[in-house]
Amino acid sequence: MNQPARRRAMRGERVRASTQFDGATFRNPSGLGPELQGGSLPVLGEYVFRRGQRVPPGPLPLERPHEIWLRPTSTGLRVTWLGHSTVLLELDGLRLLTDPVFAERSSPVRFAGPKRFHPVPATLESLPPLDAVLISHDHYDHLCRSTVATLGRMGVPIVTALGVGAHLEGFGVPPERVIELDWHEHVDLGGLRLTATPSQHFSGRGLLGRNRTLWASWVIQSERRKVFFSGDTGLTPQFSDIGRAHGPFDLVMLEVGAYHPAWGTIHLGPENALTAFEMLGSGTLLPVHWGTFNLALHDWDEPAETLLRLATERGARIVTPRLGAAFEPEHVDGPAAWWREVEAVRARCGVTETVARVSAEPVGAPID
């Protein structure tokens, strides 16, 4: 058996041995999947008739983090949100990049699909040297082919969930740089420990082949610092187990955008994100998975606005940095509603109402 065939066989053996695999596909322990809750007709009606602001009315404020990246941290934890679920984490001098998407669109093609609201605050080539890359699951807004191809040429280790490695190798990542994990497995990479933990979601890069790869949330830790990253997920009681087994966390990164009641079992949204945050043991919450792509029916800034209101009511500590702002959570007093600056620009221009732009995404399934 040649080397590629041996790798495929070993990957297949690991998939079949997973307790999340039922012999044909991966599944959530709850049995829940991506099917729309309540049927597709209400969602279709909202898609056609809902008025709102699904894309920003003007340019989003960006910061360039490059000068700050040259300085050492004073607390051992620095964070830079680069958009959607792409975050550069610096833990005790080690650097990890989550769900890197640097392309213009979150799409299988370059000419259609959700387009970025803003430029990436830093190019891949201008990032500081990376110690690892983490990819939570294989959806297009988390696994970007062109981005991964570039990272593959950089030689950085890429850690992901079971089965996703076949995609990575197909995109040009050397096989020896790919590390696949099942839930509750971990890998140590030169001072960083990455542990795959449960989430409630689904996988697939098209209508065919759904759930052939695993999805996961992640615990990222160094000698002194620990971060939780949700990937994509709905609310699951397993968050309490994760908090007990791995907490407390210095930072909790949870998805808050691209949500809707129709797919509320596999995406959190702001209210469930706060509940998950409490189940995990609280700490400091950084909302991600919003503000970059038009992937749902809500206003572009609704996730942040709703989260800010609910967090104030519930006394939760959250941080809402500007895109590209490199910050140390311990040095941040609390949230900053920077997205309201964009609304203020719209008001000065005399725009009072807009019709939601129609994206190229079909209605009838969660957009992911």
Q: What is the pLDDT of residues 99-152, one digit of tens each?
A: 999 999 999 988 889 999 999 999 999 999 999 999 999 999 999 999 999 999
pLDDT of 199 > 70? The answer is: yes
145 and 138 in contact (C-beta within 8 Å)? no
Helices (H), the chain: 3-17, 41-49, 66-69, 145-154, 165-170, 238-246, 269-280, 302-314, 339-348
**Domain residues for 252?**
52-348
Cα separation, 257 vs 185, in Å, equals 28
Whether 360 is covered by a domain: the verdict is no
Distance CA 353, CA 299 (A): 12
What's the pLDDT at 367?
39
Q: Is residue 5 part of a domain?
A: no
Can you give the pLDDT at residue 45?
A: 62
Q: What is the pLDDT of residue 133?
A: 98
- The pLDDT of residue 360 is 30
Q: Cα separation of 117 and 132, whole Å?
A: 27
Long-range contacts of 244-247 (CB under 8 A, 24+ apart): 246/195, 246/197, 246/219, 247/280, 247/281, 247/283
Q: What pLDDT is recorded for position 347?
A: 58
pLDDT band at 97 (very low <50, low <70, confident <90, very high): very high
Average pLDDT of the chain is 90
pLDDT at site 354? 33
What's the CA gap between 341 and 5, in Å, rounded?
54
Longest CA–CA span in the chain (Å) reads 68
For residue 44, is pLDDT > 80? no
For residue 278, give the 3-state DSSP assignment: helix
Give me the mean pLDDT over the 20-42 stretch: 85
Q: How confident is the model at residue 11 (pLDDT cuts 50, 70, 90)?
A: confident
How confident is the model at residue 39, as a pLDDT?
A: 64
pLDDT for position 160: 98
Predicted pLDDT of residue 349? 55
The mean pLDDT value for 185-204 works out to 97
C-alpha–C-alpha distance, residues 56 and 176, integer Å: 41
Q: Establish if 354 belongs to a structural domain.
A: no
Q: What is the CATH number of the domain that holds 224?
A: 3.60.15.10
pTM surpassing 0.85? yes
pLDDT at 338 over 80: yes
Instruction: Give every CB contact of residue 267 below 8 A, 6+ residues apart in sequence.
Output: 201, 232, 233, 234, 255, 258, 259, 260, 366
Residue 55: predicted pLDDT: 95
Q: Quick check: is 359 in a domain? A: no
pLDDT value of position 366: 43
Percent of the chain with pLDDT over 70: 89
Given a cut of 60, is residue 30 above it in pLDDT? yes
Is residue 2 in some structural domain? no
Confidence class for position 37, pLDDT limits 50, 70, 90: confident
- What is the band of 34 on the pLDDT scale with cuts at 50, 70, 90? confident
The predicted pLDDT at position 50 comes to 67
In this predicted structure, what is the pLDDT of residue 41? 53
Residue scoring higher pLDDT (278 or 358): 278
Backbone angles phi, psi at 51, to 5 degrees: -105, 140
Is residue 363 predicted with pLDDT exceeding 50?
A: no
- Residue 9's pLDDT band, with cuts at 50, 70 and 90, is confident
User: Is 38 domain-assigned?
Assistant: no
Asked whether residue 319 is domain-assigned, the answer is: yes
Q: What is the mean pLDDT of residues 43-48?
A: 60
Residues 6 or more apart whose CB falls under 8 angstroms from that of 279 comprise 237, 239, 240, 243
Q: Please report whether residue 110 resides in a domain.
A: yes
Q: pLDDT (tens digit, 9 = 90+) per residue, 274-318?
A: 999 999 998 999 999 999 999 999 999 999 999 999 999 999 999
Q: Tell me how many domains the chain contains.
A: 1
